[in-house]
Amino acid sequence: MELKEDQAVAEHKDAASVDQSQAAPIEASKPEVKEEEPVAPKEEKTSLKPEETAPKVESQASSQEKPVKEELKAATNEEVNQMIEDRKVNFNQNWHFKLNANPKEAVKSDADVSTWQKLDLPHDWSIFNDFDHQSPAQNEGGQLNGGEAWYRKTFKLDEKDLKKNVRVTFDGVYMDSQVYVNGQLVGHYPNGYNQFSYDITKYLHKDGRENVIAVHAVNKQPSSRWYSGSGIYRDVTLQVTDKVHVEKNGTTILTPKLEEQQHGKVETHVASKIVNTDDKDHELVAEYQIVERGGQAVTGLVRTASRTLKAHESTSLDAILEVERPKLWTVLNDKPALYELITRVYRDGQLVDAKKDLFGYRYYHWTPNEGFSLNGERIKFHGVSLHHDHGALGAEENYKAEYRRLKQMKEMGVNAIRTTHNPASPQTLQIAAELGLLVQEEAFDTWYGGKKPYDYGRFFE
């Protein structure tokens, strides 16, 4: 049930949706491409409905491409929906937390956590501290201390998942985090605002024993010119997939001719990066379909050509889907039109992966003389700069608080927000997309020259 790709409407001209990747976490063995994802936990749930008749399947294999070698095994919509949900398994519950824990003990699989605090994520430990006039965070940081702390969680995989690919995704850990699984360092990620993700398959026990994940977070102060919060303050999810699957944030959706085609059939160009972590080669086919969010399908199933994917390699499968007069995403109301791309991946004729990506149709122009126009209508920005925290609630991600805040802004006339001074959470981006808010998403506050002794100027270049 991964929605990362469920993001605010992308900001590239004539692009329906583009998955956003971010900086790579520093892995213990080798760098891994960091993948952002998606996604808001309170998404309006849309499942494919049982079909009375089989949907029309259109093949886009050319005469130069390989035809499908065998008939694809029919899959029910229930199977598809379950695969979508397996892409975003809630991992927030039943963690243990301790400030200033002994690092040598905290990483051990059999560490004694009887004196640790039990809690559910998200969690901001700084907001629970007493105000300290001598705090190195100073007035800008709310006079609330940071420090360092550990989080631990035990979990056990279902037997059916032991041979699958497992990835853990953190939407935000402030900051300078290290992640361990069963006592082994998986990776180090300095940034406290970006989503980051690790493939933890090789670190997991395959013999039925419980697994232990431990996270070390360090907030040396002063690190910000605002209140940052501390700890695992955004959602954590597991992604459980077949060894052949669409890469996290691996879907791209573009509408290069939307402006000229909007009153007829609009070509929607879709592509998925598919990875094979198996030791064997496999034959691949992908199917795509677009549905109105919460509504009916607006295309049939479009099938790609068959392609051989070698072991431990990746490839891209693409297609063009035509949508008749799609409704355009807009900032002019608080319920703009949104669509979902459903992707199915078949390995050797059998369905093994499915995912869902939220997107909207819109085009824009931005020129020095004419200003900004959206869908052919000139628009002035009425916006605000928005930090990630919620005042007295701290930095802990809170869907109700964030929705209320953005909804109130929309009602008072705001049509755009600037995320100050860091990337927003997938949750914030999705709410903005749902309410019809443009987003100027800042990437960082400093580069060569730091503004605080422990900010991100330490890590660039």
Across 355-379, average pLDDT: 97
Residue 41 has pLDDT above 70, yes or no: no
Q: Is the bond leading into 83 cis (omega within 30 degrees of zero)?
A: no
Give CA–CA dist 73/226, Å, rounded.
Answer: 55
Between vectors from CA 88 to CA 110 and to CA 200, what angle results, nearest 5°?
Answer: 40
- Which alpha helices (H) appear in 227-364, and where do they start and end? 258-261
- pLDDT recorded at residue 66: 56
- Please tell me the predicted confidence (pLDDT) of residue 46: 53
- Which pLDDT belongs to residue 458? 84
* Average pLDDT estimate for 167-194: 97
Cβ atoms of 230 and 174 within 8 Å: the answer is yes
- pLDDT (0 to 100) of residue 456: 81
Q: CA–CA separation, 380 vs 416, rounded Å? A: 9
| Whole-Å CA distances, 165 to 177, 249, 302 | 23, 16, 26
CB burial readout 322-334, b (16+ within 10 A) else e: bbeebebbbbeee
b/e map 44-56, b = 16+ CB within 10 Å: eebebeeeeeeee
- The domains found in the chain, sorted by start residue, are 17-86+243-359 (2.60.40.10), 89-240 (2.60.120.260), 369-441 (3.40.50)
pLDDT of residue 3: 32
**Who contacts 181 (Cβ-Cβ below 8 Å, separation ≥6)?**
200, 203, 204, 211, 212, 213, 214
323 has pLDDT over 80: yes
What are the pLDDT digits (tens) for 118-139? Answer: 999 999 999 999 999 999 988 8
pLDDT digits (tens, 9 = 90+) for 92-106: 999 999 999 999 999
Q: pLDDT at position 69, please?
A: 55
Q: Which of 223-227, 261-265, 351-355, 448-452 has the lowest mean pLDDT?
A: 448-452
- pLDDT value of position 461: 67
Rounded percentage of the chain residues whose pLDDT exceeds 70: 85
Token couple for 338: 């949104």
Task: For residue 11, give the nearest of 432, 363, 423, 407 by alpha carbon.
Answer: 363
Give the span between the Cα atoms of 361 and 112, in whole angstroms: 53
Average pLDDT over residues 44-57: 52
pLDDT at 49: 57
Contacts of 291 (CB under 8 A, 6+ apart): 46, 48, 297, 298, 339, 340, 342
Min mean pLDDT across 139-143, 202-206, 310-314 is at 139-143
Sheet holding 416-419, edge to edge: 383-386, 416-419, 438-441
Task: State how far the Cα of 357 lies from the Cα of 289, in Å rounded to an integer.
Answer: 11
**What is the percentage of the chain residues whose pLDDT exceeds 90?**
76
More confident residue, 459 or 1: 459
Summarize the confidence of residues 211-223 as an average pLDDT: 97
Report the pLDDT value the prediction gives residue 76, as an integer from 0 to 100. 86
pLDDT of residue 71: 76
Task: Give the integer Cα–Cα distance in Å for 328 and 336.
Answer: 7
| pTM score, whole prediction | 0.86
Residue 320 bridge partners (DSSP): 269
Confidence tier at 28 by pLDDT (50, 70, 90): very low
Q: What is the pLDDT of residues 236-294, one digit of tens each?
A: 999 999 999 999 999 999 999 999 999 999 999 999 999 999 999 999 999 999 999 98
pLDDT at 342 over 50: yes
Q: What is the pLDDT of residue 367?
A: 95
At residue 74 the predicted structure's pLDDT band, cuts being 50, 70 and 90, is confident
